[in-house]
Amino acid sequence: MPEETPRYDFTPYGPGAAVQVTSTKPVTVYVVKPLPDGSRPLDYAFKRVGITPVTFQLPPGRYLLEVESSDTTRGGMLLDMGQSPRRLLVDAGSDSTSMTGTLLMAVGVTAIAAGIVVLVGGSTSSEGNLEKAKIVIPFFAGGALVLGGGIALFVVSRTDIEEEQHAPAQAAGWDKLPAVAKAPNLTLGFRF
């Protein structure tokens, strides 16, 4: 009977420094050593290490770490491991927002292309009462607006992986400061 491959591998390349990955939504974490020519390895070469939050070990070296799930866009980062542990935070993007952005970009480009077709071809003013500007300007304006909205949604839907740079409050000594001296939480936001 063949031996079954383990579902998760917390030491995919042997023992080493700890890598802790947390995220805003549960995502599956994959890791692989990059190819010597710098190209991205094929999907089957990645080793699944677990679902966030997860801690696993990697020996010193360079690795490509990727995360994904069924409702999250794929995100990745090159990770140069040394002897010290690393803490990574995944800001999971939305797959449905990405698809909506892609669809809006396609509609915007189509509207701009239709405006160009009407501008270049079609009837002249001597053949009818149709003025091209009354048709072309809405195509261009609407197409540009929808294209811009699609690009914005696509960019916002990205999944980002970054290393946590700040130290915990206890390590920084903030927990020993008097309550008045603690930094206030300031938030700036806009609502439409």
Domain boundaries, the chain: 17-92, 95-156
Sheet holding 47-51, edge to edge: 47-51, 28-32, 61-69, 72-81
Mean pLDDT, the chain, rounded, equals: 79
Q: Which pLDDT value is given to residue 190?
A: 32
Interstrand relation of 47-51 and 54-58 (parallel, antiparallel or unpaired):
unpaired
What would the pLDDT profile of 87-124 be if each residue is shown by its tens digit? 999 988 888 888 899 999 999 999 999 999 988 886 55
Ranges under pLDDT 70 in the chain: 1-6, 122-130, 166-192
Sheet holding 54-58, edge to edge: 54-58, 17-23, 86-91, 160-163
Which segments of 25-131 does DSSP mark as H helices, in order?
95-120
Helix, strand or coil, per DSSP, at residue 24: coil
Residue 19 tokens, joined? 């890598």
The contacts of residue 111 (CB under 8 Å, 6+ apart) are 139, 140, 142, 143, 146, 147
Is there a contact between 57 and 19 (Cβ–Cβ < 8 Å)? yes
CA 150, distance to chain mean position in Å, is 15
* pTM, full prediction: 0.66
Q: Which CATH number fits domain 17-92: 3.40.50, 2.60.40, 3.30.450, 1.10.150?
A: 2.60.40
